[in-house]
Amino acid sequence: MSQVRDHLWIWAHEAGSHTTAEWGVPEPSRMTPVEGAVYLGVSNVILVRYNGRPAPPYHQYALPLRAMREVVWSVVGAGASTNPADRAAVIALRDELPNLTGVMLDDMFGVPADSEQVAALSLAEIRELRGVLRGPGRPLNLWGVTYSHELTRPISEYLSLCDKISLWTSQASQLAHLERHLVALEKLAPSADKVLGCYMWDYEPKQPMSVASMELQCEQGLRWLRNGRISDMIFLATCICDLDLDAVEWTRRWITDVGCQPL
């Protein structure tokens, strides 16, 4: 029987990726992806390229992640950034990172409003990627990202190609509508596993996430884990875990309290 902790992930960027100028965080972070995972008390890591970092070759970035239970690595990075060479370098990691279990399409619908594409990758490119992930070689899962404000867009065909879809709410003020958002995602992508994304900083208004909002996300996510409506939860991000934030410290205690509970 699995435990709650087995289904908890931390979203990881290089240390210092989230800055005061960009997101209003109080100071630069020195927390690495593995340090952030250990600090929060989880052993599953999603490493996502942010502002071009990390850049291939990935060998030395991958080595510390061998200590984790599972690793997912982005082939579409923050801001929908992607290119064929980077995608190939990530997929090649399955030969040297035995705990790599999937790849992530971050901000997959984050293309400019005037773009002719709906997503960072076309349907044909996602199908091709999915075929590569299925073999030859060890199969990898395809993870996607969608935000609550994107759930009314024509994205169901893209989501149907993903094995797991993480649902994110951009502003804490909208967390009261989590149930409605999950219902909408269930209708858009009935066959994919759903994953609840939990911000530990309120990024869009550039302010701390309140403990009350953190508790709402975590307790709702735990209920959904237990009744099977979601398969996993993700906490974002490693690069704010050493900033002495109330939401991070509350989450650490919560994980300690519930992590060993059976599912």
Q: Is 57 helix (H, G, I), strand (E, B) or coil?
A: coil
- For residues 31 and 190, what is the distance between their CA atoms, to the nearest angstrom? 37
Residue 113 has pLDDT above 80, yes or no: no
Structure tokens at 230: 């979601």
Tell me: the pLDDT tens digits for 11-59? 999 999 999 999 999 999 999 999 999 999 999 999 999 999 999 999 9
- Say which residues have a Cβ less than 8 Å from residue 208's Cβ, sequence separation at least 6: 201, 202, 245, 246, 247
> DSSP letter at 209?
P
- Say which residues have a Cβ less than 8 Å from residue 88's Cβ, sequence separation at least 6: none
Domain boundaries of the chain, sorted by first residue: 4-258
Tell me: the pLDDT tens digits for 147-206? 999 999 999 999 999 999 999 999 999 999 999 999 999 999 999 999 999 999 999 999
Tell me: the pLDDT tens digits for 146-163? 999 999 999 999 999 999
Candidates 3.40.250.10, 3.40.50.300, 3.20.20.80, 1.10.540.10; CATH matching 4-258: 3.20.20.80
- The residue whose two tokens read 């059976």 is 262
- Say which residues have a Cβ less than 8 Å from residue 257's Cβ, sequence separation at least 6: none
Structure tokens at 253: 């205690």
Residue 6 has pLDDT above 90, yes or no: yes
Structure tokens at 216: 């709402």
pLDDT for residue 1: 86
pTM of this structure: 0.98
- The answer to whether 171 and 204 are in contact (CB under 8 A) is yes
Dihedral-angle region of residue 222 (phi above 0 means left; psi in -120 to 50 means alpha; beta otherwise):
alpha
